[in-house]
Structure 1
């Protein structure tokens, strides 16, 4: 564990419990970024001419990691750009199912258009609520976060696969930003139609990169209108009108997309199964400790499966107190949010619990 922590210099000065807000940059990703810009500095267009080859390698690395053919891997700069492009390719008369109070980048984007919108409630019965809403409304699309950003409530991929098989005519579009990088994920086997995810959180890939994964029949159901000269770049976007190119109309940033590749290589060196095991262990311990202190909302307490994101109540005063202890977290209404990645430790949970007891005894 000490060797794993060495790769993240920020851990030397903080008890860093804020991965759900900003994932730490590893030394390996930082080294890639330095080397990349050094090559650009000394070579200019000679290096730029290798752009297509670099992006091909990125797609192949991403595709291999998530079990998705590289010609179905989109490279975009953030979740919102990809999601909004997708929505522009959907018939305006479509009915869309959302989760009430899901991530604003999902719900605001949908509600800013003329779609017929229905909702499922996020609580301890989330799966039942989703199934009932799918049965009642028969939506054209179901757009949702796999893991909720405020309190960490998580949908299991086995449940999502079951729902997709039960409602095959509904297009399942998932935000995986708070999910990818936390456990092994087989995209093709999941049956989810589209996954869009930024890489700066749990992938620890830095800012300015996100991925889109598409099932094979999705181009028949979505018709985005964006296009540009670089929509034709590389062997996976070689012909005019290709589907990936509609999500990638401009110059692609090899610094940021290459960072995803570097991050995946580092994850592979650690082992995604080890990462998953560590996160589940930390999540279990944290939930037990927070329950003892009575800090968790009922919807979280009553669920058997949970992510490693928790909202522990409090306000800006609690956040300020934790910051004074070099414990880094976020303020997310209705409380302070903490989140644990594989490089966190059980001892850090103990330090947090001690600090919380001190704060609440004041």
Structure 2
């Protein structure tokens, strides 16, 4: 991955550990976007109509990479928008189970509607805690992030598949924005019914793009409450035949933004999703070991056998200042210092981080 790193100029001067907030832009995508805008300036509507093909290409590649069905794949500007449209199609009063302290855009759409919401705190055994809550509450819907946004707590894919097998009528909705791009996923065998990801973090697609995969059960259970001319691809007589996925695409989609996501997916495909995951897991394990050795992780994260690529470092003003002075890019989250590693990071980034942390003690 060392050569891959050269495609991101910021990395020549900074240790960028802020992918959990925004992924970086690959130079190939930057060049493509410049060419796109020049072509639009010269071609106007003719160019825009030709560029519409990028949308279906993005849909098909996303589905191919993560084993979804392109006919049940919706393109959305972001997952928050897609989720809010989907929830309009679920019955009022439905029993919903959510982890406590979820990402606001995961929690608030339910809190804002007439659902019977139960929130369960997650600690060192999130799978067990969720399983017991499902057994106790008997929810109709489970909504969760695959990776907790504040500290990277990872929910096991095997667990969700097992939970679905034991509770086949449970509708499982998952936000994978902090997961896809760093880790591979087989949607069809995951047990998840709705899986959404915005493209601006680990997928490296920039802002204004994302996708939602839908299972057959989701199609059967969720009513279509949104529609627009784009849902029918401009067919005046097509309203009655739109799918749930296309109901989530009521208005025009920006071909610049989705073309950027397409390029990013092609780049990740070229690297190999399994190779990316292996690299990220190895680097993440080294980061976890170094932070654990320094006593800077919570007990629940330190004790987990498998973790994501995101960590929350115990806060101190001295650590915060030392990291800034060392040229490390990060975000304050959850009362601590959040960092994350992706396939463009390397061990030198970790050494810079550890050096800054040690200097603050």
Band of TM-score, shorter chain: over 0.9
User: Aligned runs of 1:221-236 on 2, under 5 Å?
Assistant: 221-233=221-233
* 1:198-247 C-alpha deviation (Å, 9 max, x unpaired): 11000011001111001123221111322111111189x96644122221
Instruction: Give how far 1:354 is off.
Output: 1.1
Check conservation: 1:98, 1:119, Cα contact below 8 A. yes
- Give SS of 1:98's match: strand
* 1:96-115 C-alpha deviation (Å, 9 max, x unpaired): 00001111111122111121
Instruction: Give how far 1:321 is off.
Output: 3.0
The equivalent residue for 1:123 is 123
The equivalent residue for 1:354 is 355
User: Aligned runs of 1:212-291 on 2, under 5 Å?
Assistant: 212-233=212-233, 240-242=240-242, 243-291=244-292
Check conservation: 1:79, 1:198, Cα contact below 8 A. yes
Structure 1 stretches of 5 or more lacking a match? none
- Give SS of 2:251's match: coil
Check conservation: 1:232, 1:239, Cα contact below 8 A. yes
Comparing 201-210 with 109-118, greater Cα deviation is found at 109-118
- Give SS of 2:216's match: coil
| Residue-pair matches, total | 359
* 1:267-316 C-alpha deviation (Å, 9 max, x unpaired): 11111121111111111111111111110011101111101110001156
User: Aligned runs of 1:5-16 on 2, under 5 Å?
Assistant: 5-16=5-16
CA distance in 2, matches of 1:145, 1:275: 21
Instruction: Give how far 1:54 is off.
Output: 2.1
- Give SS of 1:74's match: strand
TM-score (norm 2): 0.96
* 1:252-272 C-alpha deviation (Å, 9 max, x unpaired): 111111111100110111111
- Give SS of 1:183's match: coil
Matched, 1:108 2:108: yes
* 1:19-71 C-alpha deviation (Å, 9 max, x unpaired): 11110111122122222222211111111222442211111111111111211
Structure 1 residues 50 and 216: CA distance shift in structure 2, 3 A: farther
Matched, 1:335 2:336: yes
TM-score (norm 1): 0.95
- Give SS of 1:50's match: helix
Structure 2 stretches of 5 or more lacking a match? none
- Give SS of 2:96's match: strand
CA distance in 2, matches of 1:232, 1:105: 28
User: Aligned runs of 1:65-214 on 2, under 5 Å?
Assistant: 65-214=65-214
Check conservation: 1:319, 1:330, Cα contact below 8 A. no
Check conservation: 2:214, 2:245, Cα contact below 8 A. no
Structure 1 residues 23 and 234: CA distance shift in structure 2, 3 A: farther
Matched, 1:58 2:58: yes
Comparing 169-178 with 273-282, greater Cα deviation is found at 273-282
